[in-house]
Homo-oligomer: A and B are copies of this chain.
Amino acid sequence: MRIAIPLFDGFTALDAVGPYEVLSRLPGAEVVFLAAQAGPKSTDTRMLTLLASSTLVALPDPEVLVVPGGPGTRALLENRPLLDWLRSAHERSTWTTSVCTGSLLLAAAGLLRGRRATSHWLELETLRRFGAEPVAQRVVRDGKLLTAAGVSAGIDMGLQLAALIAGEQVAMAIQLAIEYDPQPPFDSGSPRSAPAEVSASVRAAAASRAVSSRRPQSPTD
């Protein structure tokens, strides 16, 4: 079972590595990191580089597709080769999935028209522009499409997908192997639970980045 994770400059590392860490442990799974051109791909912070070992054209028909997000997606919403590949891969895939703003790439490829889907909470309404129905939920399933909320939600999505592919016992063993017993020190992981001033600071930082178009600054994006 080939699991394809397309990379691009400006992706968010955990969007890709969360699901990878879960799905690579499925029996018989082969996770392939690929890109328009193979080679080093820099994350959004420019402090970390992952290698794409293969090209999109070399793997037209993965069984599972996992599209990460990140500020780098903005430059790709009209990228013909990537969107064509996503459309064609989705036609043949068993599961098509995304994490964070990876769903905007699926949406830009026309794959979420009339579908329920999610994304990073800051970009949820952007899905509507592409004809999708945004759902503020950690993981949203619509047929063979699974979309996850922001960044860390890819771990939860990966475990749900592992259960769909290999059954709950295997998914639970993977969860135990990666000791996924989360204990966040604060209840600040969602705009529904975070203190109002914290949400406001994250919104303001995102807005200022959008205006300046500079590369992402800490602490957000």
Contacts and interface: CB of A to CB of B under 8 A. Distances in A.
> Which of A20, A27, A29, A139 counts the most B-chain CB atoms under 10 A from its CB?
A20
A154 to B, nearest CB: 10
A18 interface: yes
Interface in A9-44: 12-14, 17-18, 20-21, 24-33, 40
> Which of A13, A175, A221 counts the most B-chain CB atoms under 10 A from its CB?
A175
Given A180-B189, A181-B190, A182-B189, A21 B30 contact: no
Chain copies in the assembly? 2
Interface residues of A, number: 76
Given A186-B172, A198-B173, A219 B179 contact: no
A214 to B, nearest CB: 15
Interface string A34-68: 00000010000101111101000000000000000
A189 B173 CA distance: 8
A164 to B, nearest CB: 10
B176 A218 contact: no
B47 A50 contact: no
The 4 closest A-B pairs by CB, nearest first: A150-B179, A181-B189, A177-B220, A172-B188
Given A152-B182, A181-B189, A182-B182, 13 more contacts: A17-B17, A21-B151, A21-B152, A24-B45, A32-B47, A50-B51, A100-B179, A150-B179, A172-B194, A173-B201, A174-B219, A175-B184, A177-B219
